[in-house]
């Protein structure tokens, strides 16, 4: 059994630690353009985010469903185009939310273990974590393709806690999506919902996280 004196903190990435929407929008519109679709705005792309890149692609290209079925093979091919573009794009505009770095610094100074647990594929999550300087606070990054399942399945959280050598109940999950709250609750973790992120605020409130943040580390 793992033991730690200080509770661990597991953070989602997109819409929680960092505003990555401009880069996700740029790559989404690149993929749409490849299939003859017009660009969409950030508000629309924001509604696509939460379940990983392949789910985002399906939502971004659903207009094609009247002409063709979005098969797994089609999505896989399109995902390859997404990867090719986003590999360079993912760090162009991304930035930490105000207060995030300072809060992480304080958590580390107080002895709290930290991990990043995101449905974003590792090939983007790891370089983004490094670009934003988050690797100064943690070496544990669990991406959407680290395991066979993604949030809301709690397996990603279990894996992160194992890497941190922390017992599951002694942790807090912080995220802006229903997936984050559901995964945390499945392990009886304390949960913090980020109203400033990409999830729908009403739905996030209804999910019943233990704490709601109106801005990073600012309780409502």
| Residues acting as catalytic residues | 12
CB atoms within 10 A of CB 149: 11
Q: How far apart are CA 94 and CA 101, in angstroms?
A: 14
Is residue 181 within 8 A of residue 174, CB to CB? The reply is: no
With a CB cutoff of 8 Å and minimum separation 6, the contacts of 53 are 79, 82, 83, 86, 120, 121, 124, 144
Alpha-carbon distance 90 to 105, whole Å?
Answer: 24
Of the candidates 189, 177, 208, 213, the residue with the CA atom closest to the CA atom of residue 7: 189
């Amino acid at each position: 059994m793992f033991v730690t004196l200080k509770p661990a903190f597991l953070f989602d990435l997109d819409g929680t630690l960092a505003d990555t929407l401009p880069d996700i929008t740029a790559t989404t519109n690149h993929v749409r353009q490849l299939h003859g679709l017009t660009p969409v705005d950030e508000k629309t792309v924001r509604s696509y985010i939460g379940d990983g890149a392949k789910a985002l692609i399906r939502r971004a290209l659903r207009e094609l469903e009247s002409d063709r079925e979005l098969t797994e093979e089609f999505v896989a091919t399109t995902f390859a185009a997404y990867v090719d573009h986003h590999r360079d794009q993912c760090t162009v505009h991304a930035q930490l939310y105000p207060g995030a770095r300072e809060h992480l610094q304080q958590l580390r100074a107080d002895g709290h273990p930290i991990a990043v647990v995101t449905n974003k594929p590792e090939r983007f999550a790891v370089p983004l974590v490094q670009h934003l300087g988050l690797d100064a606070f943690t070496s544990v990054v669990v991406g959407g393709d680290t395991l066979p399942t993604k949030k809301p399945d709690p397996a990603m959280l279990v894996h992160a806690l194992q890497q941190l050598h922390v017992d599951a109940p002694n942790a807090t999950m912080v995220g802006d999506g229903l997936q984050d709250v559901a995964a945390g609750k499945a392990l009886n973790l304390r949960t913090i919902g980020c109203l400033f992120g990409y999830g729908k605020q009403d739905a996030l409130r209804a999910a019943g996280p233990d704490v709601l943040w109106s801005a990073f580390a600012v309780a409502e």
